[in-house]
């Protein structure tokens, strides 16, 4: 099939590379000239495990081209995947500017019937509005399909090949045919439903996962007060098949490009529709407070923050990615700095731009980062930090040798034996 993918972010590039390797002819559209030039040289504009190799394979097959010209890309395409960004506005609303502009572009430039597959995360009701206001006015018939994406960053390639389900929202059941063909080799339940329900599946899934995280973080906070261990509690709770073990890891809370944005957007949509989604509001609040708690813990352990030197291990919002959007580490570092602490940060892949307020404080070598620190916060559970030589770390640090294990992944007993003041989350 001839496919056009508009937007070369995490989702767009995974879609474009995977489909071209599977035998489709793909033209990917990117308006950012810097990104476009990197991609044309077969270079990745961001880090995502396994994707660089896929890009090279797709390009070797001559199955993937890059352009900034939507008109040319549309000329030869049967399916157009829309994978542009939908960032948050200050009030929690989703900024649909890029989605609307691509939709208008397609409606204006399409010269033959085409199916638009919306993969960008858009609030429930958006597809219906786009069809009414834009696609129905095009000079050629345009079919609209909502096909939310559930990829995790860092595992995007694996998740694409092994999804739990494929959700397809359509106005008429026959509109799903082209997309079902594209997915014919992927083994997963394929659910065809109406457009608004498909949009809602994405928000409900993310809100539910975020709820699990905030719930377990609240249980962890309570564990600290009553003297229970969250690791044992999570295990005991997660073995109940009705609950399941995933997303029960207590820590610094969720970050990234999806959960913070999507929970706020769903809260906004609820309020807009006259419904106060109190549970979701609490999930968002608990997540924000989890970061403040960590700052307070460090303040307490170091009897103040002014002039204290604190090493932050990990800046990415989770391992396997260089994404720092809504990353707890960045937020915590900023709060520590504003309260007079001296911060050293370390991440194996994150490259902060020269204008970033933490760029001068960032090290590649964790041993350099912990030098002279009174406390170390493990913020991202990169393998590199799990394999640290803690005796060497201790020699480089200064009393009171605080280790705040923000992801509960370090060996508490071993660190305590080595003379560290170990603090976890809910332990
Ligand atoms: C998420 C969804 O999983 C994915 O389906 C959706 O398409 C995009 O949003 P992603 O943001 O890549 O994916 O990361 P994920 O692995 O789900 O983790 C999200 C955040 O939750 C991370 O900050 C992670 O550290 C945190 N988390 C996750 C916890 O704090 N505890 C857990 O038990 C699980």
Map residue 421 onto helix, strand or coil: strand
**pLDDT per residue as tens digits for the range 13-51:** 999 999 999 999 999 999 999 999 999 999 999 988 899
Measure 100 CA to ligand 1 centroid, in angstroms: 27
**pLDDT per residue as tens digits for the range 287-312:** 999 999 999 999 999 999 999 999 99
The response to whether residue 151 sits with its C-beta less than 6 Å from ligand 1 reads yes
Q: Is the peptide bond before 400 cis (omega within 30 degrees of 0)?
A: yes
The mean-pLDDT minimum among 44-48, 119-123, 172-176, 222-226 falls in 44-48
The response to whether residue 318 sits with its C-beta less than 6 Å from ligand 1 reads yes
Region 250-255: mean pLDDT is: 98
Percent of the chain as helix, strand, coil, to the nearest 5: 45, 15, 40
81 near 119, Cβ under 8 Å?
A: yes
Q: Which residues are catalytic?
A: 258
Mean pLDDT of the chain: 96
Map residue 171 onto helix, strand or coil: coil
Which residue among 162, 164, 213 has the greatest number of ligand 1 atoms within 8 angstroms of its CB, and so is best to mutate?
Answer: 213
The response to whether residue 256 sits with its C-beta less than 6 Å from ligand 1 reads yes
d(CA 192, CA 194): 7
Categorise residue 285: left if φ over 0, alpha if ψ from -120 to 50, beta otherwise.
alpha
The response to whether residue 382 sits with its C-beta less than 6 Å from ligand 1 reads no
Predicted structure pTM score: 0.95
């Amino acid at each position: 099939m001839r496919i056009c993918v508009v937007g070369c972010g995490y989702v767009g590039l995974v879609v474009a590379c995977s489909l071209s390797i599977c035998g489709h002819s793909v033209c990917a559209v990117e308006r950012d000239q810097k990104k476009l030039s990197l991609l044309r040289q077969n270079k990745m504009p961001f880090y995502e495990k396994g994707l660089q190799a896929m890009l090279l394979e797709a390009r070797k097959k001559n199955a993937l081209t890059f352009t900034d010209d939507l008109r040319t890309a549309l000329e030869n395409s049967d399916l157009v995947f829309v994978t542009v960004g939908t960032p948050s506005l200050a009030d929690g609303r989703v900024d649909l500017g890029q989605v609307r502009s691509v939709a208008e572009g397609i409606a204006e430039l399409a010269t033959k019937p085409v199916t638009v597959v919306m993969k960008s995360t858009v609030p429930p009701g958006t597809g219906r509005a786009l069809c009414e206001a834009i696609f129905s006015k095009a000079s050629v018939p345009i079919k609209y399909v909502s096909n939310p994406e559930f990829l995790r960053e860092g595992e995007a390639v694996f998740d694409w090949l092994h999804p739990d389900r494929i959700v397809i929202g359509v106005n008429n059941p026959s509109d799903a045919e082209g997309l079902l063909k594209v997915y014919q080799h992927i083994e997963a339940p394929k659910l065809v439903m109406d457009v608004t329900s498909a949009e809602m599946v994405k928000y409900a899934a993310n809100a539910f996962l975020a709820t699990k995280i905030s719930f377990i973080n609240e249980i962890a906070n309570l564990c600290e007060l009553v003297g229970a261990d969250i690791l044992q509690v999570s295990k005991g709770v997660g073995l109940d098949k009705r609950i399941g073990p995933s997303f029960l890891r207590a820590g610094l809370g969720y970050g990234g490009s999806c959960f913070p944005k999507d929970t706020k957007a769903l809260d906004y949509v609820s309020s807009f529709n006259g419904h106060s989604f109190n549970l979701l509001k609490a999930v968002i609040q608990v997540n924000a407070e989890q970061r403040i708690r960590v700052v307070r813990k460090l303040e307490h352990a170091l009897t103040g923050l002014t002039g204290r030197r604190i090493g932050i291990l990990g800046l990415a919002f989770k391992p396997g990615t260089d994404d720092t959007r809504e990353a707890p580490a960045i937020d915590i570092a900023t709060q520590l700095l504003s309260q007079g602490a001296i911060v050293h940060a370390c991440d194996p892949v994150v490259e902060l731009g020269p204008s970033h307020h933490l760029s001068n404080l960032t090290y590649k070598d964790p041993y350099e980062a912990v030098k002279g620190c009174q406390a170390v916060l493990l913020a991202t559970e990169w393998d590199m930090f799990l394999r640290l030589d803690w005796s060497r770390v201790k020699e480089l640090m200064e009393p009171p040798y605080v280790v705040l294990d923000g992801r509960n992944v370090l060996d508490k007993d071993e660190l305590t034996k080595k003379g560290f003041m170990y603090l976890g989350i809910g332990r």
